[in-house]
Amino acid sequence: MGNKIVKPREKKQLAIDLTKYVNEETGELLTSELQRDKMVVTVTKEGNYVVITSDDYVVLDCKTVNYLSDILSRTEMNNILMMATDLKTPLNIVYNGPQPHSNESLQVFLGYSSKSTFIKLLQKLIKAGVIYQIKGNIRGEVRVIYMMNPFLARKRKTIDKEVFEVFRPFI
């Protein structure tokens, strides 16, 4: 048997300075949007491949996105993508910084001035199986929070197995 030369695995963490990036539409710094100054990305070189790992990446299922684009408007699809950027926990909950979004904070985040239009959006997304509404005593007060279907989008490799009992694949 011939000796095979194995290249060592290189792993490097890169800290990206977010103060250098600006939203062209608003002129606002990316740091104000993300509420932090740096984003850490781990780059692992393995042979001919590079593995990039970051908690800021969102995994989208292409078939599901294509299916939803047939039944939802572009604005509604944009709202889904906006919510997907704020997913956290193994329950795939839509977060607002350190706590789950409430109806009020989610309405502001998505830019809806009309509460009735916002409620119609939520009803449509619930009916389509995009989000699931949870109402109860959450952090000491009665609140409503939302879980996103992990078959559509998620930020984690691991999802709580009970979430799969709530959601079914679109296809």
pLDDT at 166: 80
CB 161 within 8 Å of CB 167: no
pLDDT at 131: 95
CA 137, CA 8: separation in Å to the nearest integer? 51
43: tokens are 């780059």
Q: Going by DSSP bridges, is the β-strand pair 93-96/99-100 parallel, antiparallel, or unpaired?
A: antiparallel
Bridge partners for 60 per DSSP? 153
CA 46, CA 53: separation in Å to the nearest integer? 13
CB 11 within 8 Å of CB 23: no
CB 73 within 8 Å of CB 138: no
pLDDT at 7: 59
pLDDT at 106: 96
Residues of CATH 1.10.10.10 domain(s) within the chain? 59-166
Q: Averaged in consecutive runs of 10 residues, what is the pLDDT profile of the chain (171 residues)?
A: 62 72 74 67 79 78 92 95 91 90 94 96 95 88 91 85 76 48
For the domain spanning 59-166, the CATH number is 1.10.10.10
